Structures are given as structure tokens and as C-alpha cells.
Amino acid sequence: MRLNRYTSYIRYIGQDDSETLENILRTLGKAALHAEQRIANVSKTHDDEDITEVVAEETMFIEDILGCAYVAAQSYITRVTSRIRWLHTRLEHDGHCLTTTNCKKSALLKAHNDTVLGTCYNQVEVINAFANYYKHHEQWPTKWDNADNKSKQTVAVIREVGAAENSSDNCREGLTALGIDHVFDVYKMANILVQWHANLTDAYKNELK
């Protein structure tokens, strides 16, 4: 009886919701690619002043598209972490204290996914940080060092992978740090998150054997 119940718990936390996320990211990637193509096209047919204006406008559009992609990815992260917190709470009622993680979001973002090359942060931490950046950076002070305590961790993560106060390409910098070289390939964030989710599910499954 207990084995069957625990099996159903693992099935719940491991439920695959990735198809919707990947579809959203593929659509956003196509939109960003079209913006890049508009930049390439205008450089062939317009003078320098027009080119500068179009590049600035399309670059901003691409940043918005990538920001939306990070936020969509963050919603997937939130579902995974919420289910695992539910699992911990449910098992505590059975007198079982899980040790795979402490189920805090910060621990879950670090667990069972690869470190971003040249940094001390993991891929899921970076995705989550850029989602927070996109949602809140317009409320930040001009100098990020003066950001409030709630934002300082986000600032630390995104700076580590190349983001800067005066850059118009911060979201793209995050994508590059994740090993995703082209905006069209933004859907590959879903691959990172699905693997992280599967790794976490397997770890909890092994603990409950």
C-alpha cells in the first residue's frame, strides 16, 4: 500500500509539462529570428542613419522576446519546485523527512543540473535570474550595486555571465552563457529544464525506494 502511494507521488512530481513550454519557446524563437532578418535586410538597402535606428528598435524587440522566453521558462521552474515542496510536506505527514534536497527554491535550482561554464552558477539558476531581470530591471537603480537586497542575488548571477547596466543585449548574453548561440534556438532552454526535472524526479524516486 505504501509503495503504491509513493509511486503515485513520484508520478505526480515527474509529470511532463514540457510540450507547452517548448511550443511557446519555438514561437518566440521564430519571432526573434525574423527581427534579426529585418536587421540584415535593412543594412543592404538603407543609409547609416536608418540602419542605426532599425538596429536599435529590432534589438530591443529581440530582448523583449527573449525576456518573455525566460519568464515562460520560469513558470515551468515554479511548477517543478511547487510539486517538490508538496512532496516534502506530504511525506512529513507520514513521518518521513526527505533529504534529496531541503526543498527550498535556491537548493532546487542548484540541484541536478550543469554549472554554466566559467561561473559558480547552474543553468537553471541562470534561467531563473534572467526571468527576474526581465520582469524587474526597469525598477532597478541606474547603478545595479545600489539595488535592494531582494534584487542583489539576481544582479550577481546575471553579471557573472556578462550582463551589464548599459547593455541592450543582456537577455542574449544569458542565452549565450547557456550554450545557446542563436536566438532561434531559444527552445533549447526547454531541454535544459526537462533534464533537470527528470534528474530531480529520479533522485527522489531513488530515495523513496
Quick one: residue 121, left, alpha or beta (phi over 0 = left, psi -120 to 50 = alpha)? beta
Per-residue model confidence as pLDDT tens for the chain (209 residues) = 355 678 999 999 999 999 999 999 999 999 999 999 988 888 777 666 677 888 889 999 999 999 999 999 999 999 999 999 999 999 998 888 999 999 999 999 999 999 999 999 999 999 999 999 999 999 999 999 999 999 999 999 999 999 999 999 999 999 999 999 999 999 999 999 999 999 999 999 999 98
Looking at residue 190, the DSSP 8-state letter turns out to be H
Q: How many CA atoms lie within 13 A of 189 on its CB side?
A: 39
Q: What is the pTM assigned to this prediction?
A: 0.93
Domain boundaries, the chain: 2-207
